[in-house]
Amino acid sequence: MQINRLDAGELAKKFGTPLYVYDFERIKDNARRLKSAFYSDEIKTALFYSVKANSHPAVVHLLKECGYGCDCVSPNEIEIALKAGVKPSDIIYVGNYESLEDLNAVVRAGTKLVLDDINSLDRLLRITRPEMVSFRINPGKGQGKYEQINTAGIKAKFGVPHEKAWLAYEKALKAGVKRFGAHMMAGSGILEEEHFPRMLELLLDILGQISQKLGITFEFVDMGGGFGIPYYGDDHDLDIQQVGSECLKVFKNKIDSLPIGKPALHLEPGRYLVGDAGYLLTRVIGFKESYQNFAGLDAGFNTLIRSALYKAQHPIIVHNKENETELFPINLCGQICENTDIFTVGRPLPKLTEGDLVIITQTGAYGYAMSMTYNHRLRPSEVAIINGQAVEITRREVMSDYWNRIKYPKVQ
């Protein structure tokens, strides 16, 4: 298999496995496609890359160069965005249970801020009387490729319930706040085009009622991210052009007919920009013929947790065996001491042999970003393909990284 014209086998030999490889050209293409889908002469749109998907500063910088700001969920993500050259005014902080320390850091950094709840406003008011306040609104329903990534609706921990949202804005108004924004994130990994304009319409109607009640207008409406990419099976490409034009149509109609002012439309895509640009390269260590047939890999849920956490299925390619037609069902697992350390069960793959290079694709989002060192299996390196060259952008973790942080008291 080649990744942007470089041989995956050579990359694995040069940098070792497990290894994340990102195709920067692909990220640029995704960024352009999404930006043009939401371009409008009449509506001001602003795009914020959701750093949580892949927080490598080189990725953040690349997207900044493509005209994206950043959506950050912690002060440390803000630090990464700033170091990558993103201006504070192009950063939006969308937290969850924002602590006083978090809010202090955000106020100091001077970024935009979306509050997750009314109680976050109480904490913010202990620090400052802001000129502008925005809330994340839970519109009462949402969607998600998996139940666990539906970030709205009655089971979600996020946002102010829409019935109570006017109370949040009223409280801010009474505290002397003059300018307002609104936010929603109604689920992740969504491949249904209609979901996006439908949810945007719902949010705008909610805002219309708030405006009517309180006489306030909104400077921006942030519809979050959630744009899906195809992974496995029946998944298809999301028609982003259709999503963009339908959303812009809804937005224009609603701002013309509701008393919400002339807000800008904000977006916070993560997965759509980086997901299909990432490849996890891992080698087959050995086989077990047990009650089922297993092949063990040198990557596990410590490297890519999506399958263990959501039962997510990624495409899997066996290097140099792409064209083999005889396939055998196999379970692929890692080296972690947990039953859930399984990437796939009964996946039809070519006959594997020890040392084979297995490539798990669509791993640019929520891959390395969610990796961990459980069982002291250390984090892999990351390589970017930039202008046809493979460049290491994160070195492989070593045990001295661990020992550097450890204070080991002398035990009597």
Residues tagged active-site: 337
132-138 and 160-161: which strand pairing?
parallel
Alpha-carbon Rg of the chain, whole angstroms? 23
> Taking CB under 6 A as the rule, does residue 225 contact ligand LLP?
yes
* Cα–Cα dist 70/248, whole Å: 21
Q: Are 214 and 166 in contact, with CB atoms under 8 Å apart?
A: yes
Does position 203 bind ligand LLP by CB under 6 A? Answer: no
Q: What is the DSSP string of 249-314?
A: HHHHHHHHHSSS--PEEEE---HHHHGGGEEEEEEEEEEEESSSEEEEES--TTT--HHHHH----
- Residue span binding ligand LLP (CB under 6 A) among the ranges 23-31, 203-211, 212-220, 224-232: 224-232
Contact 404, 387 (CB under 8 A): no
197 is an interface residue for ligand LLP by CB under 6 A: no
| Residue 229 engages ligand LLP in binding (rule: CB under 6 A) | no
CA distance 52 to 270: 7
- Which range, of 220-228, 255-263, 278-286, 287-295, touches ligand LLP by CB under 6 A? 220-228
Q: Is 139 in the site for ligand LLP (CB under 6 A)?
A: no
If the CB atoms of residues 9 and 161 are measured against ligand LLP, the closer one turns out to be 161
Minimum Å gap between C-beta 308 and ligand LLP is 11
Tally of CB atoms within 10 A around 150: 20
Using rule CB under 6 A, residue 189 touches ligand LLP? yes
Q: What is the DSSP string of 54-114?
A: ---HHHHHHHHHTT-EEEESSHHHHHHHHHTT--GGGEEEE-SS--HHHHHHHHHHT-EEE
| CB closer to ligand LLP out of 15 and 68 | 68
Strand duo 6-7 + 2-3: pairing: antiparallel
Stretch that binds ligand LLP, among 33-41, 164-172, 222-230, 256-264 (CB under 6 A): 222-230
Site for ligand LLP in 259-288 (CB under 6 A): 268-272
Pick between residue 224 and residue 263 the one whose CB is nearest to ligand LLP: 224
Answer yes or no whether residue 227 interacts with ligand LLP by CB under 6 A.
Answer: yes
In the complex, least distance from residue 272 CB atom to ligand LLP, rounded to whole angstroms: 6
Q: Scanning residues 59 to 118, which ones bind ligand LLP (CB under 6 A)?
A: 71, 94
Residues in contact with ligand LLP by the rule CB under 6 A: 50, 53, 71, 94, 149, 151, 185, 188-189, 224-227, 268-272, 306, 365-366
